[in-house]
Amino acid sequence: MPIDYSTPGVITALTPDQRQLAAELPADPVAICRAVAGLIVHPAQTGSLGLPEPRMGAQAIRPVTRILDELLAIDPAPLTKVREPRQRVVGTCRHFATVSVALLQAHGIPARARCGFASYFRPDRHVDHWVVEHWVTGRADTRESSDGESSAGRWVRIDPEILDGTNVPHPDDLAPGEFLTGGEAWQLVRSGDADPATFGVNGTDHAWGPAEIRGNAIRDLAALVQVETLPWDEWGRMEASYRGETGPDYDHLVDLVAQVCAEDDAERVRVLYNSEDLAVPAELRN
């Protein structure tokens, strides 16, 4: 049975009042994501804002309902209003992605968050990042596939965090390779086509290498079943992986994760996600 990405999961479900606010936004994926960019401020951009510690803690909120509650407590204006940075809720790229997904779904637009790495923040580096995919249909929105076949639609990758920036030519339709899911990055590294040392967390010296890719591959699998964890959530053998204590068997498991995510078959995604080491514990879903 396919996953209905036009309806919310546990993280992206909204309250009735929030759905009413979402309905005021134009039913256009790019416009919705652009509105989100005016609601959230990245922690790296808060240095001059003088925000109190409780405001900074909003980046650790998981459900979108609570993210929006935090936003509306700061400024109860409609979601169509672009807030000044100090009036925005503090959130990482994952907040930009999950809030966008929730608002897209409120308009019945199939959407999902993806966890992986962006190549457009630092030269020759792939930086830990989350983006949005939304489904487009119709001939005008259909891109030719690499094997020359076309379909009735495709997933379009959009980065709400940089929509008005100059990082890439088309942040509303990321080109292949500009963003790699965790599984795509893992496959590149396993094939010898990418250096694992170039994948990691910006602003750190230690959080680079294979363990970061394994972690994001598994987080991306969870996102495909609509369980969008925080970027630093760990479960299963992730912690051991970060300590360098896992071996070939765990790498083979991540091989399978990468393959199943690439195939994008809902039933296989569900079955694999619910296996040992991969399902997100209840305390991280709440």
Give 208-251 pLDDT, tens digit per residue: 999 999 999 999 999 999 999 999 999 999 999 999 999 999 99
Contact of 9 with 224, CB cutoff 8 Å: no
Q: Tokens 């936003």 map to which residue? A: 71
Per-residue pLDDT at 144 exceeds 60: no
pLDDT tens digit string along 63-103?
Answer: 999 999 999 999 999 999 999 999 999 999 999 999 999 99
The pLDDT of residue 240 is 97
pLDDT tens digit string along 21-38?
Answer: 999 999 999 999 999 999
Per-residue pLDDT at 4 exceeds 50: yes
Question: Mean pLDDT of all residues in the chain?
Answer: 94
Contacts of 76 (CB under 8 A, 6+ apart): none
Q: Tokens 């804002």 map to which residue? A: 49
Alpha helices in 153-247 (DSSP H): 182-190, 210-224, 238-242
Give the burial class of 10: count Cβ atoms within 10 A of its Cβ; 0-12 exposed, 13-18 middle, 19 or more buried.
Answer: middle
Phi, psi of 184 (to 5 degrees): -65, -40
Angle (nearest 5°) at CA 74 between 71 and 79? 45
The pLDDT of residue 94 is 98
Per-residue pLDDT at 200 exceeds 50: yes
Structure tokens at 237: 């053998």
Contact of 131 with 118, CB cutoff 8 Å: yes
Tell me the pTM.
Answer: 0.94
The pLDDT of residue 106 is 98
| pLDDT band, residue 283 (cuts 50/70/90) | confident
Count the helix, strand and coil residues of the chain and give each as a percent rounded to the nearest 5: 45, 15, 45
Give the number of other CB atoms < 10 A from CB of residue 68: 23
Return the sign of the alpha-carbon dihedral for residues 219, 154, 165, 118. positive
| pLDDT band, residue 138 (cuts 50/70/90) | low
Distance CA 72, CA 59 (A): 15
Distance CA 44, CA 112 (A): 25
Which of 1-5, 201-205, 248-252 is modeled with the greatest confidence? 248-252
Of 104, 56, 61, give the one whose Cα is nearest residue 230: 61
